[in-house]
Amino acid sequence: MSTTELRVSGFGGQGVILCAYIIGRAAALHDGKHATLTQSFGPEARGSACSAQVILSDDPVLYPYVQHPKALVCMSQEAYDKFEPEVDTDGILLYEEELVTPHEPRANMKVYGIPATRIAEELGRIIVLNIVMLGFFTAAAGLLPREAARKAVEESVPEGTEKLNLAAFDRGYEYGLKLAEEEAAK
């Protein structure tokens, strides 16, 4: 892995920061990597632009700010419009397909969508959209072991919601695996 920069983005209230936190926690506590997290959100918080930047590395991270993300998770159109130009041309873009309409991807960029909101609704709580996206990210980006991410989810969500959140993670992960299999078959 060496060092990988990524950004999770959306709007306040979608769980963007928790999603990024869990990615960093999974890498640092359950995969033996180093991780940093920085976050940014508008003064209105809920409903305004929000992003969290994570750096994952085999070595200590000396500069904690993302400059050229290799991966971008987008849960809102505003976030996509703002952050997509920053992604490496050979990076990966993961987006909520019912909330984001991407333009034609750049040459080597991998772009995958998931109906995360619909999946969260099927599970009975739209609030787990971020965890569905986390599962999708884990499968599609290949930066974290599945069990490390699941353990970090279990430790990071409110007590009593672990079962729901793990189900959300698993649904997103399965969707990501299915897309990877379809891509490999092409």
Q: What is the pLDDT of residues 69-89, one digit of tens each?
A: 999 999 999 999 999 999 998
Buried b (16+ CB within 10 A) or exposed e, 49-81: bbbbbbbbbeeebeeeebeebbbbbbbbbbbbe
The amino acid sitting at 17 is: I
Query: What residues are paired with 36 via a beta bridge?
Result: 55
Domain of residue 162, CATH code: 3.40.920.10
Q: Which domain holds residue 83?
A: 3-185
* pLDDT above 60 for 145: yes
- Nearest Cα neighbor of 5 from 62, 51, 64 is 64
The answer to whether residue 43 scores a pLDDT higher than 90 is no
Residue 46 confidence (pLDDT): 60
Strands 71-74 and 92-96: parallel
By percentage, how much of the chain surpasses pLDDT 90?
79
In sequence order, what DSSP letters do the residues of 40-84 get, joined into one string? Answer: EE-TT-BTSEEEEEEEEESS--S--S-SS-SEEEESSHHHHHHHG
Count of structural domains within the chain = 1
- List CB contacts of 43: < 8 A, sequence separation 6 or more: none
Contacts with 85 (C-beta within 8 Å, 6 or more apart), sequence order = none
Do 98 and 113 form a contact (C-beta atoms < 8 A)? Answer: no
